[in-house]
Amino acid sequence: MQRSVPVLAVLALGGALLLGGCRYHSHSCHYRGCHVTVSGAGQTVEVSGVHLTVSRISSQGMTVATDGSGPTVIGVGQSTRVGRFKIKVASADNDKVKFDIEGEWIWVRPFL
């Protein structure tokens, strides 16, 4: 029994992941804001109905736009308004950034 095709498929997928990098995001929300983690620049993520475009991540911070606003550079430890939202960068490295976003748009569904 030959298994060359499945092995080749797995190797090809693994190579694509290595070349493309791992991109993901996660978030958790509370009354008026969300804690967000984005890994991999050049992506648009949706957080509670808001589209955030993280175009650059470095050890100094990130470049982000919200719902059509212009791109804004925010350094680690800095807080600034981006469109209708206040964003504060908590930490960043060359591939991953953690930040908080606040605004009246945050809406957390109560448990029923």
pLDDT tens-digit map of 69-83: 999 999 999 999 999
Cα–Cα distances in angstroms (integers) from residue 40 to residues 30, 32, 37, in the given order: 24, 26, 10
User: Does residue 15 register a pLDDT over 60?
Assistant: no
8 in a structural domain: no
Distance, CA of 108 to CA of 69 (rounded, Å):
24
109 in a structural domain: no
Residue 72 burial (CB count, 10 A):
15
66 in a structural domain: yes
Residue 88 burial (CB count, 10 A):
16
Question: For 43-61, what is the mean pLDDT?
Answer: 94
Q: How many domains does the chain have?
A: 1
Question: For 11-37, what is the mean pLDDT?
Answer: 69
Q: pLDDT class for 61, splitting at 50, 70, 90?
A: very high
Q: pLDDT class for 68, splitting at 50, 70, 90?
A: confident
Q: Which structure tokens are listed for 28?
A: 């958790």
pLDDT of residue 21: 60
pLDDT, averaged across the chain = 80
User: Does residue 85 register a pLDDT over 90?
Assistant: yes
Query: For residue 73, is it left (φ>0), alpha (ψ between -120 and 50) or beta?
Result: beta
110 in a structural domain: no
1 in a structural domain: no
84 in a structural domain: yes
Tell whether pTM > 0.85.
no
Place of tokens 């190579």: 15
58 in a structural domain: yes
Give the residue numbers spanning the domain of 43. 23-102
Distance, CA of 60 to CA of 75 (rounded, Å):
5
